Structure 1
Amino acid sequence: MTGTELPRLEDSLELYAAAAERYGTEPFTETRARRELAGAPSQRLLELAVAYGLLEFDGEAYAVQVEPDAPESAWRANAIERAERIRPAAVERATEGTGGSDGVRALTHGSKRFASVAVGEPAELERVLGRLERVPLEEYDGIVLRSPGERANAVQRLADRLCEPAVTDGTSLSRPFQKEYTDVVGDDKNELEFRLFLERE
């Protein structure tokens, strides 16, 4: 895809340049932008600029994400951080709709079958518990938590919590898990996936 095929990229760039010139990296609201910037940018255009990584949004105000004169490394880091935030969520959403008849992707270890659960960033216990409550766990021997390799420690800590009866007692899960096996898969050392298999006790 070329730059001209990205929706309203030129408008987003003009908005970014105007915001950088007027506000620098100071936050500004949508109301101020409409009043003070040329073209009175719409909410949709502001959202597109955020999606492109030109602006950031904290729920209340916008701000320039990377200054125009920042080094290329800062722009690269911004793009990488955005991709790392999107990828786990995209993988989790995609795997929710693929796999068996129940819509759950299954992975096997030995002769056992595990329901796959992608762990995003941050590795939130509540989100994983919510996902597990929608999985027909009685049809599996356990679950496998999956994440990029560099977040293995966070997944290990999450797994420790899932092995605590005090955690699962407050949910529809009838009993806690126990760690069974860990694995790292992938051909590229920068794209490794960590997998932690948990069995039901």
Structure 2
Amino acid sequence: MAFELSPLPYNYDALDPYIDAQTMQVHHDLHHQAYVNNLNAALEKYPELQSKSPEELIKDLSTLPQDITGAVRNNGGGHVNHTMFWQIMAPNAGGEPTGAIAQAISENFGDFESFKQKFNDAGTKQFGSGWVWLVRTNDGKIEITSSPNQDNPMSGGHFPIMGNDVWEHAYYLKYQNRRAEYLKQWWNVVNWDEVNNRLAMSSR
């Protein structure tokens, strides 16, 4: 079956004033939909791959037919990245982390403010389009990384606990070229409950 775009788990304007409704609508309905459409198109002549999840596809890029590797990397990654992105944000969220993620941040980065500074710095310095991530590495460490385009840490054997989209389409209508401001304001919409769910998944 073809992959499908799930609806947002909240209204387009639910993350105002930090992310505006127009940005959410364009980002979800046009950009994310395009990744889904292009992923489906790439797999059309390979029905044996259509039963795999997007996560399975991007974890094993080296096993894919060479003629679709790039398309799956870009569009499968875009689908997986954005599916996570909508879920780790929520209205009436943000604030200090709680639960296991708060402990992990404390143990690995000292305190939440230090963690935010390092995460935002990595996002600001990511050249061009890409993502900034908190991952559990394949050897069990908790680290901040960044990646270009729609590359996902899963392709390198790491688990993305959370990530922020620093493509211009994620923030340009509201923040123009002020990526650092967008990164700062984004913490007001982080859904720590879902981040804790993903932290638990990363250790399985």
TM class by smaller structure: under 0.3
- Using the size of structure 2 for normalisation, the TM-score is 0.27
The structure in which a higher percent of residues are strand is 1
Structure (1 or 2) with the greater helix fraction: 2
Give the alignment's TM-score, normalised by structure 1.
Answer: 0.27
Higher RCO structure, 1 or 2 (CA under 8 Å, sep 6+): 2
